[in-house]
């Protein structure tokens, strides 16, 4: 039928030089229908230049006015009023349909509730009042923070702490997930996503968040969206792309916005009489409520969120990676020391020796430390326990053969000191005696020995001997460097012992008793 033809497309193809027969063949439509469009356009004097800027529906109406319009046998509601009333608190389409039935009386037939809802949707779509979005199974997940919050009670102090709810929804099945967190910071945001993917048992190509700073740095009207590095990395781990909704456009993620309102009823309101003292306890109850919510039968379609998810959506979701995403912390511009190690949390991790002196970035997870230079991953290590300090984690492949690049130890330090002289050996020995653990003495001992790079080993030995004759029990770099800078090692003069300060308090008791200051 002619009313099924895209009349504007037919005119466009004719303008490009195609005949009616060629258009019918290319588009798979009847030649008579194409010919009717062309003859009508010629009779009305309408060419491609006249309709180029018009929408498809307006072109069809201009060619065939009145065609396809049918008079309804049912009483027609005031759809503008319906739309206005629907915005009021507590007003639903069910209530408005009943009012329509009551006011229509027996004068004319009234439409069913299903037809009423469908025609209202058509009105809203045509008028631009709302947008009806069709969703495909297993293609996207919408995520957001719930506005309403919950509480935890500390049984010891009685202190109340706020609990935030992360909400996720699969738009096709409306299958929902809720996670309770103690804050809305980036780490909580990422951990909630990891728990969400585990709950769904699969991934999707699209993540649709709001424009919060834990996920999106900027979302300009023109140009590319700038995502948070950690959020983009997490999404890539699950083979998903982050496509945030437009700024101040909640309709772009209407499913999760609707779920957030349901969470207020099914979770927050339902559990309002219960008192929770720990986050795991609260999470268990939330999971029970969300499970009941997902099993609740639909009002206007067969099944429930769980049944539609299980039967239609989950089989189409992408499988999860072998290991869940690990939350990471980035530290930038750490210098690689001359022993080919970099410092993190008071421990030392090796880096390939060719990067000595370079600045590198560290990516730290709960179990691993990775070293990057620009976009290149240089090496990785198992993270040492937080309770350890001054430990070395060294990959043999990071260091070349040859003793000069081996990690420093007590034996190497003592050998270097012995080459300089007995006074130096004594100073180094005293440094290690004062250290709580052997590794804590490496840096101060090497600082003393490296004075031989600026001053001759003979002068350093003389300075050590001179310092040992003085009042300092364990001389270090800070004591030896002034001796060398001032040339005292050449004169052999030992600094006098500082005089004790016996002055006591100089302000007097009147000051502390509130007298004149």
- Rounded CA-CA distance 453/484 in Å is 12
- Specify whether the CB–CB gap between 197 and 320 falls below 8 A: yes
Q: Which tens digits make up the pLDDT trace of 366-404?
A: 888 999 998 889 999 999 888 888 788 888 888 776 544
Cα–Cα–Cα angle for 474, 475, 476, rounded to 5 degrees: 115
- Mean pLDDT score, 422-451: 88
Q: Model-level pTM greater than 0.85?
A: no
Q: Which tens digits make up the pLDDT trace of 444-486?
A: 899 999 999 889 999 999 999 999 988 888 899 999 999 898 8
Q: What is the pLDDT of residue 219?
A: 46
**DSSP strand pairing (347-350 vs 392-393):** parallel
Q: Which tens digits make up the pLDDT trace of 160-191?
A: 999 999 988 888 888 999 999 998 888 888 89
Q: With bands split at pLDDT 50, 70 and 90, how would you rate the model's confidence at 252?
A: very low
Of residues 123 and 275, more confidently modeled: 275
Determine what percent of the chain is predicted with pLDDT higher than 90: 18
Q: Any idea which of 126-140, 267-281, 298-312 has the lowest mean pLDDT?
A: 126-140
DSSP per residue over 275-338, as a string? Answer: ---SHHHHHHHHHHHHHHHHHSBPSSSSSBHHHHIIIIIGGGSBPPPSSPPPP-EEEEEEEPPT
- Rounded CA-CA distance 333/320 in Å is 34
**Mean pLDDT rounded to a whole number for the chain:** 79
Q: Which residues contact 469 (CB under 8 A, 6 or more apart)?
A: 494
Q: Which tens digits make up the pLDDT trace of 218-231?
A: 544 544 455 667 78
- Rounded CA-CA distance 420/427 in Å is 11
Residue 435 has pLDDT above 80, yes or no: yes
Tokens of 206: 């699209």
Tell me which H or E stretch contains 408.
none
Q: Any idea which of 65-69, 267-271, 279-283 has the lowest mean pLDDT?
A: 65-69
Terminal Cα-to-Cα distance of the chain (whole angstroms)? 104
Tokens of 153: 């009670």
Q: Any idea which of 37-51, 139-153, 501-515 has the lowest mean pLDDT?
A: 501-515
- Mean pLDDT score, 422-440: 87
Q: What is the pLDDT of residue 226?
A: 56
Domains in the chain, please, with CATH? 7-63 (no CATH), 79-132 (no CATH), 140-316 (3.30.420.10), 329-398 (no CATH), 410-490 (no CATH)
Q: What is the pLDDT of residue 44?
A: 83
Q: What is the pLDDT of residue 369?
A: 92
DSSP per residue over 163-221, as a string? Answer: EEEEEEEETTTTEEEEEEES--SHHHHHHHHHHHHHHHTSB-SEEE----TTTEEE--S
Q: What is the pLDDT of residue 438?
A: 80
- Mean pLDDT score, 67-71: 57
Q: What is the pLDDT of residue 135?
A: 62
- Rounded CA-CA distance 74/89 in Å is 28
Residue 129 has pLDDT above 60, yes or no: no
Q: Which tens digits make up the pLDDT trace of 29-56?
A: 788 888 888 888 888 888 888 888 888 7
Q: What is the pLDDT of residue 222?
A: 46
């Amino acid at each position: 039928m002619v009313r099924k033809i895209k009349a504007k497309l037919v005119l466009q193809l004719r303008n490009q030089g195609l005949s009616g027969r060629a258009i019918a063949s290319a588009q798979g439509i009847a030649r008579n229908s194409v010919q009717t469009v062309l003859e009508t356009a010629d009779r009305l004097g309408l060419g491609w230049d006249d309709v180029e800027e018009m929408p498809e529906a307006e072109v069809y109406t201009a060619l065939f006015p009145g065609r396809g319009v049918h008079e309804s046998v049912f009483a027609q509601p005031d759809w503008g009023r319906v739309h206005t009333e629907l915005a009021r608190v507590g007003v639903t389409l069910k209530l408005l349909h009943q009012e329509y039935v009551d006011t229509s009386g027996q004068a004319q037939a009234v439409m069913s509730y299903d037809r009423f809802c469908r025609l209202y949707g058509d009105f809203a779509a045509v008028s631009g009042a709302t947008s009806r979005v069709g969703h495909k199974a297993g293609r996207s997940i919408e995520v957001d923070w719930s506005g309403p919050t919950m509480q935890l009670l500390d049984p010891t102090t009685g202190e109340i702490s706020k609990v935030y709810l992360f909400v996720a929804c699969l738009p096709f099945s409306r299958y929902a997930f809720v996670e309770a967190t103690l804050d809305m910071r980036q780490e909580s945001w990422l951990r909630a996503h990891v728990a969400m993917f585990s709950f769904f048992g699969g991934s999707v190509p699209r993540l649709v968040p709001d424009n919060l700073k834990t996920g999106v740095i900027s979302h300009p009207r023109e140009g590319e969206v700038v995502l948070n590095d950690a959020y983009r990395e997490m999404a890539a781990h699950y083979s998903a792309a982050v496509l945030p909704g437009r700024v101040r456009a909640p309709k772009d993620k209407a499913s999760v916005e609707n779920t957030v309102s349901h969470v207020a009823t099914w979770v927050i309101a339902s559990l309002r009489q219960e008192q929770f003292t720990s986050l795991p306890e609260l999470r268990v109850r939330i999971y029970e409520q969300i499970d009941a919510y997902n099993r609740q039968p639909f009002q206007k379609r067969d099944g429930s969120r769980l049944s539609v998810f299980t039967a239609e959506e989950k089989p189409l979701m992408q499988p999860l990676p072998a290991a869940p995403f690990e939350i990471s912390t980035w530290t930038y511009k750490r210098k690689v020391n001359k022993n080919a190690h970099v410092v993190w949390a008071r421990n030392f991790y090796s880096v390939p020796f060719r990067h000595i002196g370079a600045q590198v970035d560290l990516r730290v997870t709960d179990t691993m430390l990775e070293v990057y230079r620009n976009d290149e991953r240089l090496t990785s290590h198992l993270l040492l326990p937080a309770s350890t300090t001054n430990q070395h984690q060294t990959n043999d492949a990071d260091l070349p053969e040859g003793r000069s690049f081996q990690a420093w130890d007590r034996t190497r330090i003592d050998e270097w000191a012995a080459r300089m002289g007995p006074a130096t050996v004594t100073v180094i020995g005293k440094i290690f005696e004062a250290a709580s653990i052997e590794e804590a003495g490496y840096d101060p001992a090497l600082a003393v020995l490296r004075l031989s790079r600026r001053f001759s080993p003979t002068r350093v030995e003389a300075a050590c001997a001179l310092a040992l004759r003085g009042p300092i029990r364990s001389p270090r770099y800070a004591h030896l460097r002034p001796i060398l800078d001032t040339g005292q090692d050449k004169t052999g003069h030992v600094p006098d012992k500082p005089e004790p300060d016996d002055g006591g308090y100089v302000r007097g008791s009147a000051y502390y008793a509130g007298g004149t200051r």
